[in-house]
Chains A and B, each alone.
Chain A
C-alpha cells in the first residue's frame, strides 16, 4: 500500500520559515538604524540619536530570543542537512547583525561632534563615502539572505573592504587637518571610518555564511577567519 506523497512535519517547517522571516526582520531593524546613523552624520539631529539608541535595545533583545529559539530547535527537532546548516547559519548571522548594530551606535554617538567633523573637508567626504559603501554592502547582504542568491552573496563576500582603497588617501587628508581641535577631529573621523569599515566586514561575513548555507562547502566557513 503506497502512501500518497505529501508534505510532512508541517509544524517544524513552519518554525523554520518563521525563523527566516525573523532574521529578515532583524536585518531590517539594523538597516533602519544604519539609515538613522547616516542621518545623524548629515545633520546631527538629537531626536534621531535617541531613536537609534532605543532601536538598538530591540535589536539586542531580538538577538537573544532568536538565539534561544535556534538552540531550542536544535535540541528538540535535531535538524539535519540543509536544515542544520540553516539553523547554525542563523545563529552566526544574527550575531553579525547585532555587532553591526553596535557599530552603528558607535558612529551615532559622534553626533554632537558632527559639525566639527564636517569641517574637515576632504577627509569628511572620504568618510561619508566609506559609510555609504558600508551601508550599501549591508543592504546587498540582506538582499542575498532573503533571496538566497548565491551570486550576490559571493560578490558581497569577496569584494574588498572600502577602507582598503581609501586608507592612504584618508590618512593623507587627516594629516592636513590643522587647528586646536585637529586631534579630536582626526580621531573622530578615524573611529567612524574604522567602524564603517567593520560594518562592511560583517556584511561580507554574512555573505560568506550564505555561500556555506547554499552550497554546503566547508571552505566558505574558513572565509570568515579574519
Chain B
C-alpha cells in the first residue's frame, strides 16, 4: 500500500496554469469554435447579442443561465440548425477550426455531419433500433460494414449490451433514458468531431441522467462536447468549462436579449466567479 501511495504526487497550488483575460493560454488544448461578437436575430428581434467565447477540443463546455437567455439559440448556431427557422440571421463571426461557418460557400450538410446534435426530448425515428443508428451512415453512402458501424456506435453510447438481442425492435419501445442513448448512438454513428447537446437529460429520471453524465465523461476524449443545461449542478458535475448567459432589457426597453456574462473554467465559476450576476445565479439568489 505505501508504495502505491508514494507514486501519487500531490498537486501544489501552482498546478493550474495562469489564464489571461481572454481565457486562453498556451497550454490549453486547441480551439474548436471561436465565437467573435456573434448576434442572432429572428426578424427584427435580437435573441442574443455580442457573444464572444471559445470552445476547446476534448472538453465539455456547458452553457448555463435562466430561461430565454439564448443558450439554445447559441448552441444551434454551431451546426447552423437555426437556418431552419424562418427569418433567422446572424451577425458577427463563428469560426470552426478557422472557417467561418456562415460563409456562403460553406456546405451546410457537411457541417452537420461533423457537428452532431442530441435534442432535449429523445426523438428516435419510428424505425428499428438498427435503422435508427444506421440512418446517418447510409445517408453518407455507406452500404457495407453497417453492422460494425452500428455496433460501434451502440457500444459508444453504452447501449449495446441492453439492445444487442433486439436490434430489429422499434426504437420507440425503449425507455426514455435508453431512447436518449439511442439518439446519442445515432449522432456518433457518423463519427462527428463535435457533439452538441441541448438539455439532454431534462426529460429523464435521475438514474438515466447519471448514466448519460457518465457517458459524457467517457467519450470526452474522442469528441468535443457542448451542453446546454438548465441544471446548474449538472454543469458543475460534468463540464470543464462553463459559460453563463443572462438576459438584458434592450436599450429602448424592448424585448430581452441574451448576453454572455462570464466564461471560465468550471471550478472558478462555482467557487469564485468574477461577475456578481454569476455569483447571484449559481448561489440561487436570482434566477
Contacts and interface: CB of A to CB of B under 8 A. Distances in A.
Given A3-B177, A28-B2, A76 B270 contact: yes
A24 B207 contact: no
Given A11-B217, A72-B271, A18 B177 contact: no
A65 B1 CA distance: 22
Given A3-B211, A71-B271, A77 B5 contact: no
A1 B174 contact: yes
Contacts of A66: 10
Interface string B205-230: 00110110110011000000000000
Chain B contact residues (Cβ within 8 angstroms of A): what range?
A: 20 to 34
B10 A76 contact: no
A116 interface: no
A76 B210 contact: no
Nearest to A11: B217
A47 B137 CA distance: 69
Secondary structure of the B side of the interface? helix
A4 B233 contact: no
A65 B12 contact: yes
A76 B5 CA distance: 25
A38 B193 CA distance: 59
B10 A1 contact: no
B112 to A, nearest CB: 30
Contact of B10 (A4, A22, A78, A146): A22
Contacts of B8: 18, 21-22, 25
A173 B56 CA distance: 70
B214 A10 contact: yes
A9 B210 contact: yes
A50 interface: no
Contacts, number: 70
B237 A12 contact: yes
Contacts of A71: 271
B148 interface: no
Contact of A3 (B10, B15, B208): B208
A8 B211 contact: yes
B13 A65 contact: yes
Contacts of B218: 10
A76 B237 contact: yes
A62 interface: yes
A61 interface: yes
Nearest to B217: A11
Given A24-B5, A25-B6, A26-B10, 11 more contacts: A1-B174, A4-B162, A8-B210, A21-B5, A22-B8, A25-B5, A62-B10, A65-B12, A68-B13, A72-B267, A77-B237
30 contacts: A1-B175, A1-B178, A3-B162, A3-B207, A3-B208, A4-B161, A4-B162, A8-B207, A8-B210, A9-B213, A10-B214, A12-B237, A18-B8, A21-B8, A22-B10, A25-B8, A25-B10, A26-B10, A28-B5, A61-B10, A61-B12, A64-B12, A65-B12, A68-B13, A72-B271, A75-B236, A76-B236, A76-B237, A77-B237, A78-B233
